[in-house]
């Protein structure tokens, strides 16, 4: 008897669940609601094709400004009208968080002229508390709507009835765990160099290997760079503080006139103190885990100097790991090896995992 009752209950619950699921599907179908694909800054940074067209003349640039309508400011969402020929699968949002910009891509280049005509008369509207201004431009393979933001945001987006609705939210409202990874140097700043190595390339390779590991976790990870650009120290600090990261790890490479010196060390800020887990605790854990992963030599912890601007001014637990000396012949050989880079990344990865259990 009890078994029959149990089977009946199971059947009823299964039926109710199926009805609910179908109701949701029918609702979204009827309202034509589509969640638009999102792409983070670190995912578009390695794109080898230029996303910006050739610079336009000043009078042409003025025509490209997006109109902002005054209506709908009481809405919770920022609303971007789309041409009625736009297909949902051709819409992508790119979060260029290092530049505090949001880009909307319409990948239907054959309709670029129609898009220009459309956005010369159609304005955006709704809640623009996060949006400073915007402009549109034609790319090689797509059409861009680009908006400057007043801070770093995450967002929720829905496409419904040819309108793209965006709700800007603070990162901490979306993610429980937030980490910033800062591959040092970039651009003209090569960092420490040897005959065949540049510090900027080593730190970037480590960050890319680390990203593959962190992408498999539930953490939100922001990267100050994922290509050969050169964010300023101020931009790196601003990102770390704006997203209210739980911790920030900077990756550096060392050099010394004495070519016999080698090993790994971590930089911390002795003036930054919070109970439990602060800068020194992070630096200590970071050095231990990386040295263990590479079976290397630990040189100890180093307090920040005036040159260590990023670590000194971060308002979160922050530390830098100096992964080796390119001036040392043996370590330079190791830093060229993919498996060695992988081991360094594993050490940093383990640091992050254990930091959340400290």
Identify the band that residue 26 occupies on the pLDDT scale cut at 50, 70 and 90: very low
Mean residue pLDDT of the chain comes to 87
Asked which of 56-60, 73-77, 288-292 is least confident by mean pLDDT, the reply is 56-60
Contact 159, 80 (CB under 8 A): no
Structure tokens belonging to residue 173: 């409202």
Asked which of 33-47, 117-131, 180-194, 265-279 is least confident by mean pLDDT, the reply is 33-47
pLDDT in tens, 102-148: 999 999 888 889 999 999 999 999 999 999 999 999 988 899 999 99
pLDDT in tens, 186-215: 999 999 999 889 999 999 999 999 999 999
Whole-prediction pTM value? 0.85
R_g of the chain computed on alpha carbons: 25
- In which order are the strands placed within the sheet that holds 91-96? 37-40, 91-96, 101-106, 143-149, 131-138
Q: Which residues of 172-190 are buried (b: 16+ CB within 10 A; e: fewer)?
A: eeebeebbbbbbbbbeeee
Give me the torsion for CA of 91, 48, 248, 172, rounded to 10°. Answer: 0
pLDDT in tens, 310-357: 999 999 999 999 999 999 999 999 999 999 999 999 999 999 999 999
CA angle 42, 82, 143 (to 5 degrees): 50
Identify the band that residue 244 occupies on the pLDDT scale cut at 50, 70 and 90: very high
What integer pLDDT is reported at residue 195 of this predicted model?
85
Half-sphere exposure of residue 92: CA atoms within 13 angstroms, side-chain side: 15
What integer pLDDT is reported at residue 22 of this predicted model?
39
């Amino acid at each position: 008897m009890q078994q029959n009752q149990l089977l009946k209950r199971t059947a009823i619950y299964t039926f109710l669940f199926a009805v609910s699921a179908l109701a949701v599907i029918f609702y979204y179908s009827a309202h034509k609601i589509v969640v638009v694909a999102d792409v983070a800054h670190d995912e578009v940074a390695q794109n080898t094709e230029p996303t910006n067209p050739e610079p336009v003349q000043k009078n042409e640039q003025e025509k490209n400004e997006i109109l902002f309508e005054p209506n709908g400011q009481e809405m919770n969402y920022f609303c971007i009208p789309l041409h009625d020929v736009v297909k949902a699968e051709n819409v992508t949002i790119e979060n260029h968080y290092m530049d505090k910009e949001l880009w909307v891509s319409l990948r239907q280049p054959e309709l670029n002229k129609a898009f220009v005509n459309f956005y010369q008369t159609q304005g955006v509207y709704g809640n623009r508390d996060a949006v400073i201004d915007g402009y549109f431009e034609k790319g090689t393979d797509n059409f861009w709507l680009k908006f400057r933001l007043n801070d770093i945001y995450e967002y929720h987006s829905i496409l419904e009835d040819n309108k793209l609705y965006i709700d800007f939210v603070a990162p901490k409202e979306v993610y429980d765990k937030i980490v910033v990874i800062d591959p040092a140097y970039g651009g003209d700043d090569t960092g420490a160099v040897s005959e065949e190595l540049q510090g900027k390339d080593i730190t970037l390779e480590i960050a890319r290997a680390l990203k593959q590991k962190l992408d498999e976790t539930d953490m939100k990870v922001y990267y100050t760079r994922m290509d050969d650009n050169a964010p300023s120290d101020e931009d790196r600090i601003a990102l770390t503080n704006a997203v209210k990261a739980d911790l920030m790890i900077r990756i550096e490479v060392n050099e010394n006139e004495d070519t016999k010196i080698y090993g790994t060390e971590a930089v911390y800020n002795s003036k930054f103190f919070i109970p439990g887990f602060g800068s020194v605790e992070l630096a200590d854990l970071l050095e231990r885990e990386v040295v263990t992963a590479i079976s290397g030599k630990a040189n100890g912890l180093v307090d920040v100097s005036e040159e260590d601007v990023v670590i000194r001014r971060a308002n979160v637990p922050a530390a830098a790991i100096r992964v080796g000396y390119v001036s040392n012949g043996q370590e330079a050989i190791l830093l060229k090896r993919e498996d060695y880079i992988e081991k360094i990344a594993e050490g940093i990865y383990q640091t992050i995992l254990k930091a959340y259990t400290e």
